[in-house]
Amino acid sequence: MKKQQYLKILPVFMTLSLSQFTQAESLEEAMAAAYLNNPQLQAQRASLRALDETISQAKSGWRPSVVGSGRFGYRHSETFATFASSGDTNPRSLALEVRQPVFRSMQTVNSTSEARNQVNAAREQLMSVEQQIILDSVTAYMGVLRDMAVLELTINNVTVLKRQLEASEDRFRVGEITRTDVAQSKARLSRAISERILSEATLTSSRAAYRKTVGNAPVGLKQPEGLPAMPASEEAALEIAKANNPRLQAALFTEKAARFNVKKQYGGLGPTVELVARLSKSWENFSTTDTSTTREILAQMSMPLYQSGTLSSNIRQSRQIENQRRLEAVSTEREVVELVRNAWEGYREATARIASSEDQVTANDIALEGVRQESEVGSRTTLDVLDAEQELLDSRVSLVRAQRDQSVAAYNLLSSVGKLTAENLRLDASRYDPTRNTENVENKFFGWDED
């Protein structure tokens, strides 16, 4: 195949015969579908909504509690004195108690701040999962395109080698070549058929991975036009990552939550003040003379003096956890730096490999044409032609894989700096707002509905 013909059928992976499909799905549409429908991402959103409730639970320390109680029973009494007596009564009582916390040694304030930072960390974790799902959809999409292109190349290679074998048999019959040349052609054809079968299996696997991530079968995939906007340099990528990488931001929020937990534990050593209002009514029978009513409003203060060492142990434990979270944040920052550097090098390497593979394809195409011409005049053997054809096929496959690797590496770099999000990519999909549920539930005093 001439170089000009090849470049027409393989501009970036190779242009596949996609005209058979009535509808085509772009990479952006695949990413949007994964963003909307991937069950792993949906589960992470549900996990965040559950964690939102911890803010409401922490703020409950400001709210009153109301308890109602009642009692009904039977009582038999006997008195033995100068005159014996006995009787039966039905004691009853109703009571209502309201408790309003006034001061809890800043435990409620610190509990609320701890919960908010835990929720912020969970939002960053959600963003991390979102980025991973989008990256998985890109990997699956480009994997299907790559494997379709490789399959197309192997099918074409089988066709070429079949013609080569037929020509070898014809030349053997007229005595131009030996039986060895025919056997070599048969062996290469068998190898090509094996590679085609392997390519078919690999494509089936890629399609299954696509369906798992995106949620539908890959139909009419189109080669993406260009790459997303990339950081200007490796150092710029590192600066963006330190400000936006969700793993790093989650670790920092978790560290802040641990600091507020330490303050909350210290609050357990201080006094608590609350207002208590009680209303109770009791009677032995329904007679008004047996009825008593109590109304009271009290201000109560309690001060822990010694709790068997539990509070001290909790404080020591929380301080060690804070130290752990601080060190984990440092470790995460180093991991992010490593991740960005590796992602940058992966993108740079894949880009350079494309140029090298294109040169290799061009050179092998020219070499194959020359070997064929030399074979026709007897200066090259059949094996030389077969080797040249195999080298051209290998270089074309390498080019296809390098182009896939470049696309995946580009999106992987965006993921490492925290920019592989539906908002940044401007995907045509309804955005999930994690703050909406938080605002809806944090001040909800009662009710268990989700709206």
Q: What is the pLDDT of residues 27-75, one digit of tens each?
A: 999 999 999 999 999 999 999 999 999 999 999 999 999 999 998 888 7
Rounded CA-CA distance 425/222 in Å is 18
**Which range of residues forms the domain containing residue 242?**
3-65+105-270+313-441
In a domain, 276, yes or no: no
128 pLDDT exceeds 90? yes
Predicted pLDDT of residue 289: 60
In a domain, 338, yes or no: yes
Rounded CA-CA distance 31/137 in Å is 6
Of the pLDDT bands very low, low, confident and very high (cuts 50, 70, 90), residue 383 is: confident
Rounded CA-CA distance 215/133 in Å is 12
Task: Say if CB 179 and CB 172 are below 8 A apart.
Answer: yes
* Residue whose pair of structure tokens reads 């809890």 in the numeric block: 104
Identify the residue with better confidence: 353 or 76: 353
Mean pLDDT of the chain: 88
Percent of the chain with pLDDT over 70: 91
Q: Closest Cα to residue 91, out of 74, 77, 103?
A: 74
18 pLDDT exceeds 70? no
Number of domains within the chain: 1
In a domain, 81, yes or no: no
Predicted pLDDT of residue 380: 83
The predicted-structure confidence for 326-343, as pLDDT tens digits, reads as follows 999 999 999 999 999 999
Predicted pLDDT of residue 83: 62
Instruction: Give pTM, 2 decimals.
Output: 0.84
CATH of residue 408's domain is 1.20.1600.10
In a domain, 356, yes or no: yes
Q: Closest Cα to residue 251, out of 130, 416, 117, 129?
A: 117
Q: Which DSSP category does 377 fall into?
A: T
Predicted pLDDT of residue 295: 93
Of the pLDDT bands very low, low, confident and very high (cuts 50, 70, 90), residue 22 is: very low
Q: What is the radius of gyration, based on Cα positions, of the chain? A: 37
In a domain, 132, yes or no: yes
Predicted pLDDT of residue 326: 97
Burial class (CB in 10 A: 0-12, 13-18, 19+), 387: middle
Identify the residue with better confidence: 22 or 188: 188
Percent of the chain with pLDDT over 90: 68
7 pLDDT exceeds 80? no
Predicted pLDDT of residue 175: 82
Angle at 42 between CA 41 and CA 46, to 5 degrees: 115
In a domain, 99, yes or no: no
Of the pLDDT bands very low, low, confident and very high (cuts 50, 70, 90), residue 144 is: very high
Rounded CA-CA distance 90/75 in Å is 6
The predicted-structure confidence for 92-106, as pLDDT tens digits, reads as follows 889 999 999 999 999
Task: Say if CB 404 and CB 146 are below 8 A apart.
Answer: yes
1 pLDDT exceeds 80? no
Predicted pLDDT of residue 150: 94
Of the pLDDT bands very low, low, confident and very high (cuts 50, 70, 90), residue 126 is: very high
Rounded CA-CA distance 60/101 in Å is 10
Rounded CA-CA distance 438/432 in Å is 13
In a domain, 95, yes or no: no
Predicted pLDDT of residue 81: 60
Q: Is 374 helix (H, G, I), strand (E, B) or coil?
A: helix
In a domain, 412, yes or no: yes
